[in-house]
Structure 1
Amino acid sequence: MYLVLVMMAILLFSSISKGIGSPQIWVIEMAQFTMAAYYLLGGGYSMQMDAHVRMDVFYGTWSAKRQAITDALTVLCLITYLVMLFYGGVSSSLYALEYGQKNYSSWAPPLAPIKLIMTGGILLMLLQVLATFAQNVADVLGKPFDVEQHPEETSV
């Protein structure tokens, strides 16, 4: 969450430097890199906190088992997407490291650090999605992992 503050500081610096007549060439790209890191590192956390956006037109009226089945099916699609994204991220990161890839701009920063951060964020989200899938399958089978969410399932 602190990356948003870092990005705001970078953009504030950009505004001030333009105002005093010495604009910096690196600020916009650095803000973009910071925002990409923020989004990708926050994806797994938002899945863990169940804070992602869900269309609740029909979902809210379904039984807990039907919700878990639907979640498991949609998470399978997300797992497929994230595996492909991770594969591309690893390939792109290795290329950037091997050839010293730089961005095509006047600042020309090396791209390996941000690509490694992005690939790490994708991996963290993939791990969280796998855990969410396991939890959904356990809910479908009637053996939930989280007792706090399902206190009626506990036996004394």
Structure 2
Amino acid sequence: MPNWIRTYVRLIDAINYRVGRFAMYLLFVLMGVMLYASISRAAFTPPIWTDEMGQFLLLGYFMLGGAYSLQLDSAVRMDLFYSRWSDRTRAIVDAVTILALIFYLVVLLYGGIESTAYAIEYGEKRRGLWQPYMWPIKLVMCIGITLMILQSISIFFKDLARARGKELS
């Protein structure tokens, strides 16, 4: 494989590893927000922001951790035939199916960008008592989808290398 592909794979894997590790710590922030919400409901007037903030943190956790999950190959896989195939056959099938994922993610990103632009242009707020602006979480969603696209391309290159009998890391 050309050096630029090796560089791309190393760079994207490093970025997604770090972003994924950061996203893991969002669970602790989420637990803190939910603990505060529970204590405040029992002790005094519950704050209006905790439920929506918990939802936003959870969405950030999922979206930013998606590329890391792809990188670790921890996605769910239908293993009816897959385990019986040779490494080369698996790599070929993975290279073809990752293209379908990339197409889906590109369409999802297109919709996400349009939705984020709308939220910024019109100052979209979430309905409810707290009424936070929606653009920050939509921006996080677009960043997460972009990272998943980049990681999927990295996986595609790795699968191509494995199909050719070489390893790319």
When the two structures are superposed, what TM-score results if normalisation uses the length of structure 2?
0.82
* Matched residue, 1:149: none
1:84-123 map, 5 Å:
84-123=107-146
Deviations 1:71-120 (A, max 9, x none): 11221111111000100111111111111110011110001111101100
* 97-106 or 52-61, which deviates more: 52-61
* Matched residue, 1:36: 59
Aligned-residue offset at 1:143: 3.3
Q: Give distance in 2, aligned partners of 1:50 and 1:124.
A: 15
Q: Does 1:136 align with 2:159?
A: yes
Identify which of 147, 153, 158 aligns with 1:124. 147
The structure that has the greater radius of gyration is 1
Q: Give distance in 1, aligned partners of 2:68 and 2:62.
A: 10
Structure 1 unaligned residues grouped into runs of 5+: 147-156
For the aligned residue pairs, the C-alpha RMSD in angstroms reads: 1.1
Structure 2 unaligned residues grouped into runs of 5+: 1-23
**Matched residue type, 2:120:** L
**Matched residue type, 1:106:** L
Aligned-residue offset at 1:23: 1.0
Q: Give distance in 1, aligned partners of 2:26 and 2:72.
A: 19
Aligned-residue offset at 1:52: 1.9
**Matched residue type, 1:48:** Q
**Matched residue type, 2:71:** Q
Q: Does 1:68 align with 2:60?
A: no
SS at match of 1:41: helix
Identity level (%): 49
Q: Give distance in 1, aligned partners of 2:161 and 2:136.
A: 38
Q: Give distance in 2, aligned partners of 1:110 and 1:136.
A: 41
When the two structures are superposed, what TM-score results if normalisation uses the length of structure 1?
0.89
Aligned-residue offset at 1:58: 2.0
Identify which of 10, 15, 19 aligns with 2:38. 15
